[in-house]
Amino acid sequence: MSGTGEEQPETAPQRPAWDLRSLPPHPAPPPPPQRFRIPIWGGVLMGVAIGAVLVVVVPLALLVGLFTLRYLNVPPEPDGAPVTLTADELTGTWQDDRGGILVLAADGTFSSTEVCGDYVDFDNNLHAGFDFPSRLSASGKWDAGDSTNEEGATSVDLGFTYGDGEISGFYDARSGSDAPVLWTYVGDPDDGKLCVLKKAD
């Protein structure tokens, strides 16, 4: 007691620093976010939709792409429209741009000198533009008929022997820019290699 005779108020005992009870309480953690749960039937519908995209949309897109490439990469063709020529109009001498000569005689025979063509050896599975010459000198028979490639066009078909094979050659008739022409693709049409014959007489 002090000399004044007055009682001193009691003070709360101080806690040491290592006593964690002296720290203020931590706030409660926030509640976890609510997650969106897809019901079972929703997952089934989503799977069906994805399957429909893979089965229908993807093949359709591929087809559109193929058609687009096909029409953007059209092989070249000579001027004029498919035309029908008589045997008299076909008879005579035809010449390509490199001086090759094809002579169609009135009796149904022909002779050629290094003339271009789409020649095929069906017996030995050989084709011009791949593993067979695209220019030949030969003699044989020719015939005219309706083209299987171009509606309304006359087709000239050659038949002759070359080496150990029976060779066929094919041309279609077109009106041309100033006179009828005989023409064909050599090998794969997408390669754009044309053989065009103009009448020399």
Q: Vertex 123, ends 136 and 188: CA angle to 5°?
A: 60
Question: What percentage of the chain carries pLDDT values higher than 90?
Answer: 52
Q: Vertex 130, ends 128 and 133: CA angle to 5°?
A: 40
pLDDT at 67: 47
DSSP string, 50-115: HHHIIIIIHHHHHHHHHHHHHHHSPPP--SS-B----HHHH-EEEE-TTS-EEEE-TTSEEEEEEE
Question: In sequence order, which residues have a C-beta less than 8 Å from that of residue 146 and are 6 or more positions away?
Answer: 153, 154, 155
| Residue in this structure with the two tokens 């490639």, named with its chain if needed | 149
User: Does any domain span residue 123?
Assistant: yes
User: Does any domain span residue 97?
Assistant: yes
- 169 and 190: one domain? yes
User: Does any domain span residue 96?
Assistant: yes
- 147 and 185: one domain? yes
Residue pLDDT, tens place only, 86-142: 999 999 999 999 999 999 999 999 999 999 999 999 999 999 988 899 999 999 999
Structural domains counted in the chain: 2
Which residues constitute the domain of residue 58? 40-74
User: Does any domain span residue 45?
Assistant: yes
Whole-model pTM: value is 0.63
- 190 and 93: one domain? yes
- 48 and 95: one domain? no
pLDDT at 186: 95
- 68 and 91: one domain? no
pLDDT at 70: 45
User: Does any domain span residue 106?
Assistant: yes
Please state, as a whole number, how many other Cβ atoms lie within 10 Å of the Cβ of residue 55: 10
User: Does any domain span residue 17?
Assistant: no
Question: In sequence order, which residues have a C-beta less than 8 Å from that of residue 152 and are 6 or more positions away?
Answer: 81, 82, 83, 84
- 168 and 99: one domain? yes
Please state, as a whole number, how many other Cβ atoms lie within 10 Å of the Cβ of residue 139: 14
**For residues 135-157, average pLDDT:** 95
Residue pLDDT, tens place only, 31-86: 766 665 656 665 566 666 676 656 665 566 565 544 444 445 567 888 999 999 99
How distant, in Å, are the alpha carbons of 28, 31, 45, 147 from that of 35?
21, 12, 20, 70
- 173 and 144: one domain? yes
- 60 and 99: one domain? no
pLDDT at 167: 96
- 109 and 183: one domain? yes
pLDDT at 74: 65
